Amino acid sequence: MRSGIVIVAAVALAVAGAAARAADPRYPDWPCTQAKVPVISLAAVWAGPALDDAETKWKDDAKISALVSKLSARKTPLDEAEKSVKEFLAGSAADKTANAKLLFAGLFDTLNAQRSQVMSGLERVSRKQREAADKIREETLALQALQGATPRDEAKVEALSNDLIWKTRIFEDRHKVVRFVCEVPTTIDQRLFALGRVIQQEME
């Protein structure tokens, strides 16, 4: 039992230390190894004509809005989304350029908003992880003190050890989820770039 407690304490200190390090000092709450890019710049994903008033008017077109919702949903496979773009613009005839601009403006707006929401969520979880790490560190030191006490209170040692095991497990599970979610902003970037490229190709 004693060796198990020592191992738990070592793991707890390790995960607590990991939570304290930020990859980029400008964004202390950003938990991902990927660099934080707060917003996608229009120039990075669009080389077509100026969007002009399309940036605000796309929401006024019910058909465009519905298509944007479908295309921006991560559950919609990218190849299916690209096919939908081609079909929509192929049937746009004389309005193809206007519709293309409206469609991209909607995607740009919607996917940037999605990114911001995901990134804000990651930073909220990161703050919780830091708080959890501080608690784990405190309890680890308290456990070490109890282990070295004379006489040793085995009931307290066991109770604190079990609590530490539970908190460490939650911390590690949450860390795994964060690593997975860290990929989402990049996936959104790739979707916007790919769909923007298809829209531009269909305009030519």
pLDDT at 1: 45
Is residue 15 within 8 Å of residue 172, measured between CB atoms? yes
Q: Report residue 88 as tokens.
A: 């929509």
Q: Are 31 and 129 in contact (CB under 8 A)?
A: yes
Q: Is the distance from CB of 59 to CB of 65 less than 8 angstroms? A: yes
Tokens (6 digits) for 25: 């000092």
**Residue-by-residue DSSP string for 7-49:** HHHHHHHHHHHHHT--SSTT-TT---SSPP-SS--HHHH--SS
pLDDT at 152: 85
pLDDT of residue 34: 86
Considering the entire predicted model, what is its pTM? Answer: 0.80
First CA to last CA distance, the chain: 71
| C-alpha to C-alpha distance for 5 and 157, rounded to whole angstroms | 9
Q: Residue 3 has what pLDDT?
A: 46
Cα within 13 Å of Cα(65), Cβ side: 7
- At residue 74, φ and ψ (nearest 5 deg) are -65, -20
CA dihedral 143, 145, 151, 153 (to 10 degrees): -20
pLDDT tens sequence for the chain (204 residues)? 444 455 555 555 555 555 555 567 888 889 988 888 898 899 889 988 899 889 899 999 999 999 999 999 999 999 999 999 999 998 877 688 999 999 999 999 999 999 999 999 999 999 998 888 888 888 888 888 888 888 888 899 889 888 888 888 888 888 889 989 999 999 999 999 999 999 999 887
Number of H helices and number of E strands within the chain? 8, 0
